[in-house]
């Protein structure tokens, strides 16, 4: 018996219905195991001294990196609970907008009912063009490289900005962007600052070697799954939980369609295979 080829339209329709429409209407509430690395990151932030300064920054932004946002947003809320100061350092053009989105989505500011005040508890720096040179300059001399914030206000006029000098003021670097290797190289490798990446799953698979190269200094979460694990540690539901139903079905369908494709191939007559 020969199994016919499935048209792409049917594959697309199956995915649309099973991965998007059905979980959207009837959530499956997918359960998932914990990850030791995600828990380590949670504990690392939990054990940071109150009122220390953490940088959120990097380069490489795709569609506001929803995979990265899944873990970064609860981490910002965790830091806000400890009154940790946040410096947003965008090393890519769109990173300015992305980092604003992260702060807005975490709802830590007073306008959302939180207690974070701009200038006192967090600062948004303007786009620093020319990575990695600009990153090195920032680490070596913060006010010299970035004399103003994104609004053009001199750092000396901001309560948080006036005391910033160099990388020694930074307790942790969080990279919610794609280009984590640059951060590992200049922030962790050269200046021994611990770095965390709330990574996209593709970045996690690609940059895994950095975690083994810098044990205890470089940490990564794994895409939406890592984000969902972090949300659970924080006791909240967010982007990570919202996507896992679809992601789970997508994983199953991937395997099913590859098996189907091979059944189609192996049930073909030899002449057709050769052709």
Partner 1 sequence: MSATLTFIRINLAKLLLLIGGISALLTWYFTTPEFGTVFNTFNTWNIDITLFTLFTGLIVICMRYFRGVREKTPGIWMFELYGLILIFAWIIMGTIYGMYSDTYQTIFLSTKITLHIAILGQLVFFMISGAYRTFRLKSLRTVAFALSAMVIIFMNIPFVQNGWAGANAFSYWLLNNPQTGGARAVVITGGIGAVVLGMRILLGLEKGPSRVTEA
Which of 25/255 has CB closer to partner 1?
A: 255
Asked whether position 112 contacts partner 1 by CB under 8 A, the answer is no
- Written as six digits, the tokens of 76 are 């910002």
Which of 46/258 has CB closer to partner 1?
A: 258
Under a CB-based contact definition with an 8 Å cutoff, are residues 138 and 146 in contact? yes
Location of structure tokens 């939990």: 46
In SS3 terms, 130-184 reads as: CCCHHHHHHHHCHHHHCCECCCCCEHHHCCCHHHCCCHHHCCEEEECCCCHHHHH
- One character per residue 33-62, x = contact with partner 1 (rule: CB under 8 A): x-x--------------------------x
Which stretch of DSSP H or E encloses residue 242? helix 239-266
Angle formed by the axes of helices 95-106 and 66-81, nearest 10°: 50
What is the closest distance, in whole angstroms, from the C-beta atom of residue 54 to partner 1 in the complex?
20
CA distance 38 to 230: 6
Contacting residue, 89, 183, 225, 233, with partner 1 by CB under 8 A? 225
Asked whether position 272 contacts partner 1 by CB under 8 A, the answer is no
Which of 48/178 has CB closer to partner 1?
A: 178
Using DSSP's 3-state secondary structure scheme, residue 220 falls into: strand
Using DSSP's 3-state secondary structure scheme, residue 193 falls into: coil
- One character per residue 140-179, x = contact with partner 1 (rule: CB under 8 A): xx--xx----xx----------------------------
CA dihedral 182, 172, 149, 130 (to 10 degrees): -10
CA distance 176 to 185: 16
Asked whether position 70 contacts partner 1 by CB under 8 A, the answer is no
Contacting residue, 39, 43, 104, 165, with partner 1 by CB under 8 A? 104
What is the closest distance, in whole angstroms, from the C-beta atom of residue 48 to partner 1 in the complex?
26
Asked whether position 27 contacts partner 1 by CB under 8 A, the answer is no
Asked whether position 8 contacts partner 1 by CB under 8 A, the answer is yes
Which of 49/63 has CB closer to partner 1?
A: 63
Could you tell me the CA-to-CA distances from 228 to 75, 195, 209, 252 in Å, in that order? 12, 20, 23, 19
Which of 48/149 has CB closer to partner 1?
A: 149
In the complex, which residues of this chain contact partner 1 (CB under 8 A)? 6, 8, 11-12, 15-16, 19, 30-33, 35, 62-64, 66, 93, 96-97, 100-101, 104, 124, 128-130, 133-134, 136-137, 140-141, 144-145, 150-151, 181, 201, 204-209, 211-213, 225, 244, 247-248, 250-255, 257-258, 260-262, 265
């Amino acid at each position: 018996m020969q199994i016919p080829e499935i048209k792409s339209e049917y594959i697309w329709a199956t995915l649309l219905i099973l991965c998007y429409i059905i979980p959207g209407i009837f959530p499956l509430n997918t359960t998932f195991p914990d990850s030791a690395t995600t828990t380590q990151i949670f504990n690392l932030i939990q054990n940071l001294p109150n009122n220390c300064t953490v940088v959120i920054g990097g380069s490489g932004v795709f569609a506001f990196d929803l995979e990265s946002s899944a873990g970064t947003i609860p981490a910002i809320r965790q830091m806000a609970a400890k009154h940790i100061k946040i410096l947003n350092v965008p090393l890519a053009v769109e990173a300015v907008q992305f980092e604003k989105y992260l702060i807005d989505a975490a709802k830590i500011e007073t306008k959302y009912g939180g207690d974070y005040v701009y200038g006192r508890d967090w600062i948004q720096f303007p786009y620093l063009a020319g990575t990695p040179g600009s990153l090195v300059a920032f680490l070596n001399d913060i006010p010299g490289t970035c004399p103003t914030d994104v609004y053009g206000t001199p750092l000396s006029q901001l309560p948080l900005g006036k005391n910033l000098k160099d990388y020694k003021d930074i307790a942790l670097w969080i990279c919610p962007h794609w280009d984590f290797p640059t951060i590992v190289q200049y922030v962790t490798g050269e200046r021994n600052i611990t770095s965390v990446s709330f990574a996209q799953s593709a970045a996690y698979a690609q940059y895994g070697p950095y975690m083994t190269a810098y044990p205890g200094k470089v940490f990564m979460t794994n895409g939406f799954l890592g984000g969902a694990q972090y949300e659970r540690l924080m006791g909240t539901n967010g982007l990570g939980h919202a996507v896992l139903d679809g992601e789970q079905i997508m994983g199953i369908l991937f395997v099913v369609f590859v098996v189907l494709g091979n059944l189609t191939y192996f049930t073909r007559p030899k002449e057709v295979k050769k052709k």
